[in-house]
Amino acid sequence: MASLQPVRGTHDLLPEDSRRHRHITGTARAIAQTFGFEEIVTPIFEFTDVFKRTLGDTSDIVTKEMYTFEDRSGDMLTLRPEGTAGVARAFISGALSNNLPLKFFYTGPMFRHERPQKGRLRQFHQIGVELLGVATPQGDVETIALGAEVLRRLGVLDKTQLEINTLGDKESREAYRAVLVSYFSGFADKLSEDSRARLERNPLRILDSKDEGDRRIVANAPSFADHLTPAAQDFFAQVKAGLAALGIGFVVNPRLVRGLDYYCHTAFEFTTDALGAQGTVLAGGRYDGLIGMMGGPETPGVGWAAGVERLAMLAGDPPAPKRPVAVIPIGGAAEAQALKITHGLRQAGIVADLGYSGNLSKRMKRANKLNARFAVILGDDELARGAATLRDLDSGEQAEVPLPELQDRLARAR
């Protein structure tokens, strides 16, 4: 019988990995709260139409990567490949339009059947935010500023570059789409298979193609900036001015696009080359048409998402956890007392470890392995005096402490 292994593209979060993940998600959650964002938790799976409508029938995620299955009731369900669609669905099904504006933060696992590689898994984790009900450029600026602050607090902002672009308003996109289709049609026989499929349905996606032949064609494509309406130009100018006022550096990348029609105005990505090939760390944009397209009331929105695994690789080791206190009983009489002392320390918020068996030497080795800060040693002589020996495991100094004073002494020493 073959040994059991995790499914390809998944991995176990052992304690050290979990600590890194908690550092990323906890930092992001705390900063989001200072910006007024509240946490939302949506189901891990949704009706498949939730994602087909939002991601587009021709997107790689829908055509190649979604984990879709039929349940016992005959419903088609999909493990969520991203977070925005579920939040938008919750907004609609929860009839939340009377509570606008809404600020949501989320975190959790996502699922995509793609080729596993460094920093990219089939079950991966994201943090993300969605700001609903704000149609002005200030919403874009605030959302980007929140992302920048998360990266700054994680110590990785200086390893990234913020790239921004405008996708314009509806009129701008319609004009540009017609120009793009005309241009790319002249190269239809030279485009990649994926780009030929996108030519009629979402030609903006061709601008973001990774195919080298496509890139050479894209290099001479018409510029979106030449087809922006005055209103779209003003919106983008206000976003850039707002970022500059906050001291958030950026570069304009005219090839940064989102292919679906509900995206508009600002698109942005924090990218890095610190993990090898340049990659996206945090990405987002404005999606004013999404909720209306899903059947809800027309509601503006802007948000971003970031991969926890990739952020953990960038951020390195998180702050060390609190070092425990090792409680070490010597002899049967001390065991029961040690159990009560350990429980009391934990109730006082002190991390405490009680070895289950072994002599003094074995338990001291365990204390050192746990990187314990102090050891509380209980022997028959100490118990007879109602005391314990408190040993500083860094300096080696020790002193006898009355049991009623033990918690206070440890709290002050730490």
Same domain, 272 and 332: no
Q: What is the mean pLDDT of residues 352-358?
A: 84
Same domain, 388 and 270: no
pLDDT value, residue 392: 92
In-domain check, residue 175: no
Same domain, 144 and 293: yes
Q: What is the pLDDT of residues 388-404, one digit of tens each?
A: 999 999 999 999 999 99
Q: Among 288, 315, 342, which residue terminates a domain?
A: 315
| Cα gap 339→355, rounded to integer Å | 10
369's tokens: 């392995």
Residues 6+ apart with CB under 8 A from 263: 167, 285, 286, 287, 289
* Residue % of the chain over a pLDDT of 90: 62
In-domain check, residue 40: yes
In-domain check, residue 176: no
Q: Among 315, 342, 361, which residue terminates a domain?
A: 315
Same domain, 390 and 303: no
Q: What is the pLDDT of residues 5-59, one digit of tens each?
A: 988 888 899 989 999 999 999 999 999 999 999 999 999 999 999 998 777 655 5
The model's confidence at residue 277, banded by pLDDT at 50, 70 and 90, is low
| Cα gap 354→344, rounded to integer Å | 12
Same domain, 298 and 334: no
275's tokens: 């993990």
pLDDT at 114 over 80: no
Query: For the purposes of burial, counting CB atoms within 10 Å of the CB of 344, is it exposed (0-12), middle (13-18) or buried (19 or more)?
Result: middle
Least confidently predicted of 49-58, 182-191, 231-240, 311-320: 49-58
Same domain, 362 and 247: no
> Strand order of the sheet with strand 68-70?
45-47, 76-79, 68-70
Domain with residue 373: its CATH number is 3.40.50.800
The model's confidence at residue 232, banded by pLDDT at 50, 70 and 90, is very high
In-domain check, residue 69: yes
Instruction: Note whether 195 and 206 are within 8 A (CB).
Output: yes
Query: For the purposes of burial, counting CB atoms within 10 Å of the CB of 175, is it exposed (0-12), middle (13-18) or buried (19 or more)?
Result: middle
Report how many domains make up the chain. 2
pLDDT value, residue 2: 57
pLDDT at 346 over 60: yes
In-domain check, residue 9: no
Instruction: Note whether 131 and 18 are within 8 A (CB).
Output: no
The model's confidence at residue 61, banded by pLDDT at 50, 70 and 90, is low
In-domain check, residue 224: no
Closest by Cα among 101, 122, 109 to 42: 109
Same domain, 254 and 368: no
Of the two residues 349 and 332, the one the predictor is more confident about is: 349
Domain with residue 306: its CATH number is 3.30.930.10
Q: What is the pLDDT of residues 292-321, one digit of tens each?
A: 999 999 999 999 999 999 999 999 888 888
Same domain, 298 and 331: no
In-domain check, residue 391: yes
Same domain, 329 and 310: no
Pinpoint the alpha helices (H) of 134-226.
137-153, 170-185, 193-201, 212-218
Same domain, 269 and 298: yes
Same domain, 296 and 352: no
Same domain, 298 and 349: no
In-domain check, residue 255: yes
| Cα gap 39→52, rounded to integer Å | 25
pLDDT at 60 over 70: no
Tell me the pLDDT of the chain averaged across its residues: 90
Phi-psi domain of 367 (left: phi exceeds 0; alpha: psi -120 through 50; beta: other): alpha
| Structural domain of 70 | 15-169+229-315
Q: Among 265, 291, 315, which residue terminates a domain?
A: 315
Q: What is the pLDDT of residues 145-180, one digit of tens each?
A: 999 999 999 999 999 999 999 999 989 988 888 888
